[in-house]
Structures are given as C-alpha cells and as structure tokens.
Amino acid sequence: MTPPRPPPVPRIGFVSLGCPKALVDSERILTQLRAEGYEVSPTYEGADLVVVNTCGFIDAAVEESLDAIGEALDRNGRVVVTGCLGARREAILERHPKVLGVTGPQAYQDVMAAVHAHVPKPHDPFMDLVPAQGVRLTPRHYAYLKVSEGCDHRCSFCIIPSLRGDLASRPIGDVMQEASRLVKAGVKELLVISQDTSAYGADLRYRLDLWEGRPLKTRFLDLARALGDLGAWVRLHYVYPYPHVDEVLPLMAAGRVLPYLDVPFQHASPRILKLMRRPAHAEDTLARIGRWRDTCPDLVIRSTFIVGFPGETEADFETLLDWLEEARLDRVGCFTYSPVAGAAANALPDPVPAAVAEERQARFMEAAARISAARLAAKVGTTLRVLVDSVGPEGAVARSTGDAPEIDGVVRIDEPGRCQPGDFLDVVVTGSDAYDLSAQRCV
C-alpha cells in the first residue's frame, strides 16, 4: 500500500520595501515563517499568501507601497500588509479593500497571526531548516543589527515617531547574543542601525544587563565596546553629534570599531535646524568634527542633507555650503525637501520653489563631489584592508573601512587573484575618482 502523501508545505511570498530597518523586520518575519515550517515562494503565483512589508516615509514611498500591494493582489489575491504604511490602515483599505490583514511596523506576532488565520501552520515545523543566524536578506558576510525601534525626537519633516512610536531599545544582552550568533555564522561586518543609535538605552535608563556572565550597561559606548570585542567590522549608523559620542572615537582610533560615523546632519544653518527641530541642533558641529578627527585621523564621516526646506533662504543655503567646505565630509547625500503627509513641517510658511531647491541640490552635490574626490585622491599610494563583496570576470568589488554597503563607494581590484565574497584583502590604492577607488592586491 502506498503511504499517504504528506500534505503540501504552505508557501508564503514576501515583498520587502523600504530602509535597512524595514529589511531587518522582513528578516525577522521570514525567520519566524521558516521556523514554523512555511516555505518562502519566489513567485506570486506559487504562493498561498503574500506578505508585503511597506514603507511610508515619504509620499513617493507610500505610492510605491500601494502599487506593490496592488500588484500582489492582482497576481496572487491573498495579501497581508505590514510595515510603516501599516500604521495608516485607512489609506491602505481605501485603495485596496481586499487585503486580508493590515499590521503596523515591528508587529511580528500580528503578522504571524494574520498568516496563521489564512494559511494554517504546517503540522511539523522543520526547525532544523532554519540557519543559526536566522534568514537574512543581505549577503552572507554582512548583516544589519537593529538595536532599537522608534524615536524620541520630533523632527518637523518626519513622521517616523508617529509610525513607529517612541524609542524602545533592546536590552544589550539580547543585542549581543544576536551579534555573536551572526559572527559565529560567518558574518564579517555588523551594521548597527536604529533611528538614533546614539540614544541607545536612554529609554531603559541604561539598564545593566548580562551577556556571557559579563555585566554591561544598555548604552551606546558599552555596546560599541562589546561589539568591538567580537572580531568583526562594526559600523555605526544614524549617530547624532551629542557630546557622549566623543567617547567612542578612541575605540575607533584603536581599531576596535570602524573609523566611520554616519551622522545625518540634514543642515547647518541654525535657523533651519531649529525649524527642522533636529536633535543636537544647538551643538557646534564643526568643532565637534574637528575633535573627532584629532582623536581619530582616519575617521570617515557620512551624512545626508535636505535643501529647499520651507523658509530656507539663499543665505541659509550659503551657510550650509560654507559649513560643508569646512567640515569636508567624506560621503554625502542630498535630497530636496519633499512634504510627507502628516508632518509638522507642512504647516511652515515660505515654501521653496522646486526649481530653486533643485538648483541648490546640484550646487551642493558639486561641492560634495569635489571634496570627496580630493579626500579619495589623498588615499592613492596607501595600503588599505578591504572586504570583498563580489568577484567576477572584471575583477573584485570590495569596500574599505570607509565604505558602507549600498550607500557609499567601492574599491575595484582588477586582478584580485583567488578570493571570494567575505574575504579580507590588503590592497594598495592605485587610482581614484569622485566616489570610488581602484587598487591592486598586495603580494
């Protein structure tokens, strides 16, 4: 007698939109799905249900998310929505009344409950199919490490606090356990993310926690120090120029943490920073950057800026340009102001015409590219340690300690010899342009 066929394994399709923080949420949901024995379907057609993890940061992202939900409904018909846009349930249901469920950001249990309700959990979970580090959407050799959710600031152009709530830090023992598991599974670079990494632990009053029997405080410096002990590259994103950030610079100078800070300055005119209600808007950032570089001369600073914010005059913009010339930041992105539904800045007077904002963006990026080119040219002839991201017929593409994946430049190596993604190589820099370096492998 032929044994009865096992029931088919339920398959879930997954669409992940948005920033690295949303990507980490997607990884957690995917890990949970796999842990419960669901399979992940690479196509809409092969899925029993599709989860769409949305972004609601700016209006363009909202549109992209609503389109993605529409596409999933057309091609599959059974859709659960989660993520930042999930906090605006009405907007989703108005456009797509047929979705099966809507849950907000970081609502892992709610997403799973919606999946269970429509596609029951398989009887026997194949726990051993889940890799020790969980399911990750990044390449094997680097991983994002989310240390907190939400934000206590109320920047006037941003609706993240209303979508994701106030700062909620993960206890340090929890973060370290995840980080250590990732490193044991082969991750070579940890990218620390949150909305404000420098505020880490403030909501928990820097509570003491234990990791491997070691007492650690849930705060920025202790986290940086403990991560630095794991032996992987540690890159700090979304750090504000608060005085206590100075304490992490000696760790960078000592090679424990990468000499890299991603500081979203957004502007330099005190008047505009105040209108933006930016954290640390009263700090003397040029003096602070100077002190950071004195402590750690190799420091690379990345930042993003907004031009054309309501009320920005030519004089404010000139202040920003002068500041940039003096700060000489290494990596810079610049956006024109884009109003977000629900943001306080929408009520500000004196909007800047789009053409003026675009012209300022072009001038800003021209200055930024010139500064970046000069700073990269100074590296020609030096030796760098790089991490290989990919290898192909054209050579290898790698990153130095000054390059975060996806957002910064790369180091191209024509004849890398035998190597694979995730290898560290020592190279001599042979050339540079505005954003990237070329190099030869050291023999």
Q: Which residue, 108, 89, 109, is CA-closest to 146?
A: 108
Would you say 151 or 245 has its CB closer to ligand SF4?
151
Count of residues near ligand SF4 by CB under 6 A: 10
Nearer to ligand SF4, 151 or 371 (CB): 151
Contact 256, 231 (CB under 8 A): no
- 84 phi/psi in degrees, rounded to 5: -55, -45
Nearer to ligand SF4, 281 or 360 (CB): 281
Task: Find the shortest distance in angstroms from Cβ 252 to ligand SF4.
Answer: 22
Does 361 help bind ligand SF4 (rule: CB under 6 A)?
no
Query: How many CB atoms lie under 10 A from the CB of residue 243?
Result: 10
Q: CB-wise, 139 or 161, nearer to ligand SF4?
A: 161
Pick the piece of the chain touching ligand SF4 (CB under 6 A) from 156-164, 241-249, 292-300, 413-421: 156-164
Amino acid at site 345:
A
Q: Which is nearer to ligand SF4, 153 or 225 (CB)?
A: 153
Residue 343, SS3 per DSSP: coil
29 lies in the site for ligand SF4, by CB under 6 A: no
9: β partners? none
Does 25 help bind ligand SF4 (rule: CB under 6 A)?
no
Q: Closest distance between ligand SF4 and the C-beta of residue 273, in Å?
A: 11
Does the footprint of ligand SF4 cover residue 155 (CB under 6 A)? yes
d(CA 337, CA 255): 37
* CB 336, min distance to ligand SF4, A: 16
Radius of gyration of the chain (CA): 23
Q: Within positions 266 to 295, which residues make up the interface with ligand SF4, using CB under 6 A?
A: 279
20 binding ligand SF4? (CB under 6 A): no
For the CB of residue 35, give the shortest distance to ligand SF4 in the complex, in Å.
Answer: 30
Q: Is 90 exposed, middle or buried (0-12, 13-18, 19+ CB in 10 A)?
A: exposed
**Residue 339 engages ligand SF4 in binding (rule: CB under 6 A):** no
Which residues sit opposite 387 in a β-bridge? 399, 424
160 binds ligand SF4 (CB under 6 A): yes
**Piece in contact with ligand SF4 (CB under 6 A), picked from 64-72, 87-95, 146-154, 203-211:** 146-154
426, amino acid identity: D
Question: Of 36, 178, 196, 389, which lies in the binding site for ligand SF4, with binding defined by CB under 6 A?
Answer: 196
Nearest by Cα to 64 from 14, 15, 13, 17: 17
151 binds ligand SF4 (CB under 6 A): yes
Nearer to ligand SF4, 153 or 181 (CB): 153
Distances (CA, A) of 138 to 134, 170, 195, 443: 12, 21, 20, 30
- Coil, strand or helix: which one is 148? strand
The answer to whether residue 87 forms part of the interface with ligand SF4 (CB under 6 A) is no
Cα dihedral sign, 265-270-272-273: positive
Query: Is residue 226 near ligand SF4 by the rule CB under 6 A?
Result: no
Q: What is the 3-state secondary structure (H, E, C) of 282-322?
A: CCCHHHHHHHHHHHCCCCEEEEEEEECCCCCCHHHHHHHHH
Minimum distance from residue 153 beta carbon to ligand SF4 (Å):
4
What is the closest distance, in whole angstroms, from the C-beta atom of residue 167 to ligand SF4 in the complex?
Answer: 9
Quickly list H helices, 185-313.
220-228, 249-253, 270-276, 285-295
Q: For ligand SF4, which is the closer residue by CB, 32 or 198? A: 198
With respect to ligand SF4, which residue has the nearer C-beta, 158 or 251? 158
- Kindly list the residues in this chain that would bind ligand SF4 in the complex (CB under 6 A): 151, 153-155, 158, 160-161, 195-196, 279
